[in-house]
Amino acid sequence: MSDQTLHHAGATLGAEIARRRTFAIISHPDAGKTTLTERLLRAGGAIQLAGNVRAKGERRRTRSDWMGIERDRGISVVTSVMTFEYGGCVFNLLDTPGHEDFSEDTYRTLTAVDSAVMVIDAAKGIEARTRKLFEICRMRDIPILTFINKMDREARDPIELLDEVASTLALDTAPATWPIGRANQFIGTYDLRTREIHTTEAVEQSDPRMIAMAEEIDLVRSALPEFDREGFDAGHLTPVFFGSAIREIGVLDLLDALVAFGPTPRAQPADTRVVQSGEASLTALVFKIQANMDPNHRDRIAFARVCSGRLVRGMRLRQVRTGKLIPLHAPQFFFARDRQIAEEAYAGDVVGIPNHGTLRIGDTLTESEDLQFVGVPYFAPEILRRVRLDDAMKAKKLRQALQELAEEGVVQLFRPQDGSQPIVGVVGTLQLDVLVARMGAEYGVGIGFEPVPYSLARWVSGEKLAVERFVGENRSAMADDVDGDPVFLASSAFMMKRTVELHPGLGFRDIKDVRPETAA
Ligand SMILES: Nc1nc2c(ncn2[C@@H]2O[C@H](COP(=O)(O)OP(=O)(O)OP(=O)(O)O)[C@@H](O)[C@H]2O)c(=O)[nH]1
Ligand SMILES: [Mg+2]
């Protein structure tokens, strides 16, 4: 390559990365994430038809909720990934589940994004899960945009909502837009940055809603901080948008803001160094596995965030954990359930890599470098159950199904070293419902659950011989997790405490990072 072409390639890489916007939508259950996702896609021209979440009898199901359980209950169970173009930018949008029971999926998703849109129900304000998710974002310095949704219904006063965000989250709020009209009179927004008005119908300056808005923004301008880019990038300040996802008001304000000042792909911490997104050499992090998304097309997709460089179809990437070379025959961009081949992708993009089980959550892919991205966690489950198989003939199928679903993170799997039936661990019982449903639908295996005499699981780590000795002495309480790492099961918090005290040289962790030895 001549100097000039090299220079050109560098310039293209930089420009391509600079137009990536990768964000997650997070909130307490039911605030309207999936609805907002649909409307963002539609408003952005990405799809023609947006389905209605939980619209009974609706033929056209919502595009980003795909699993039966999601359709039936109107909740999101897993993160959906959507890549689309708007306003000259390439967006990767990740619609996360709000329910606490699926929080692991949401936390992992947050390792793959550069910003988050926090959705707040205008009638409810900050709710428990919102606060928790916000804390995770803050820990990772993820800039947050706030979308106050459901303004088409009786809502709390906007100033009061802004105050609540500021005081409960210790976060400066800078309104980016202001609502025009309230509840069923809500017709649009005023953009404080561009001074543009976006309404669903023509409205006179003399309209009482316009007069009220003008008075309110005078007040707001004098009382609240202006948007400041540095504060936003550092995660100290959140721009706030008002809208109604369902009525498609205020939705484009959000996309336009992301185009104007949405964070570009960030640097990603690895064990040996921090990887900058603009580096020429490709690196990627697998943060999610999803199988059988399409019942007609059974496959297993590893979702990877490109952390640096450029991905080109046909490349062979090194899976750092094993040293294996992974060929990228058919990397894909996802659009909820629809997909298309990705000929190329850049830092910030989320691509799906079809594979048969080689790739795991937390895997790092590089062109050759030996580095491992950190921060994709597993949490010690709080609920443990033994799996009961309805049909003993299906033991082998059960084993395969449990392994595969555990690799996806549907549940955690613990195989007791005494050879007894497998134990599954979950953060919340809805995960057990998902396990039963998917076992039946995808593997044809009927299962139930039985209680176990254990209530806590901890990953055991430490010096190799010491760990082996401990495992040998406690075999009846030991299990292997999905990666074969040793887990100690205790009957009570008291037993766990005693065990920890008796073995000061060992670590008993309730969080497992991709690399146990680097975990806190
Ligand atoms: N009135 C009104 N209802 C809305 C609006 N946005 C969403 N909803 C309704 O709120 C309910 C929940 O919406 P979802 O989009 O599924 O909420 P979610 O945050 O994705 O829920 P989880 O993924 O399960 O956490 C549905 O009944 C929506 O129709 C809105 O702007 N106004
Ligand atoms: Mg949802």
**Length of the chain in terms of residues written:** 520
pLDDT value at residue 7: 65
Is the CB–ligand 1 distance for residue 238 below 6 Å? no
Q: Per CATH, which fold does 378-512 belong to?
A: Alpha-Beta Plaits (3.30.70)
Task: Tell me phi and psi for residue 377, to 5 degrees.
Answer: -95, 155
pLDDT value at residue 66: 63
Gap between the Cα atoms of 212 and 321, Å rounded: 60
Q: How remote is the C-alpha of 316 from its chain's centroid?
A: 26
Q: What is the DSSP letter of 327?
A: E
For the chain, give every domain's residue range: 26-76+100-105+114-262, 269-366, 378-512
Tell me which amino acid residue 3 is. D
Gap between the Cα atoms of 359 and 463, Å rounded: 27
Same fold, 26-76+100-105+114-262 and 269-366: yes
Q: How far is the CA of 356 from the centre of ligand 1 (A)?
A: 35
pLDDT value at residue 296: 66
Is the CB–ligand 1 distance for residue 155 below 6 Å? no
Mutate to test the pocket of ligand 1, among 34, 35, 54 (most ligand atoms within 8 A of CB): 35
b or e along 364-385 (b: 16 or more beta carbons within 10 Å of the residue's beta carbon)? Answer: bbbeebebbbbbbbbebbebbb
Gap between the Cα atoms of 137 and 115, Å rounded: 9
Q: For the chain, what percentages of helix, strand and coil (3-state, to nearest 5) are there?
A: 30, 30, 40
Is the CB–ligand 1 distance for residue 311 below 6 Å? no
- What is the DSSP code string of 280-316? SS-EEEEEEEEE-SBTTB--EEEEEEEEESEEETT-E
The CATH code that applies to domain 26-76+100-105+114-262 is: 3.40.50.300
Q: How far is the CA of 354 from the centre of ligand 1 (A)?
A: 31
Is the CB–ligand 1 distance for residue 33 below 6 Å? yes
Q: What is the pTM of this model?
A: 0.91
Q: Mean pLDDT, consecutive 10-residue segments, the chain of 520 residues?
A: 61 94 97 94 60 38 64 88 90 94 92 97 96 90 96 96 95 96 97 93 95 94 89 94 97 95 96 97 96 77 97 97 95 82 95 94 96 87 94 93 94 95 94 94 94 95 95 96 94 95 94 51
Q: Per CATH, which fold does 269-366 belong to?
A: Rossmann fold (3.40.50)
Mutate to test the pocket of ligand 1, among 53, 93, 102 (most ligand atoms within 8 A of CB): 53
CA angle 439-492-398, nearest 5°? 15
Give residue 148's region: left, alpha or beta (phi > 0; psi -120 to 50).
beta
Most distant CA pair in the chain, distance: 81
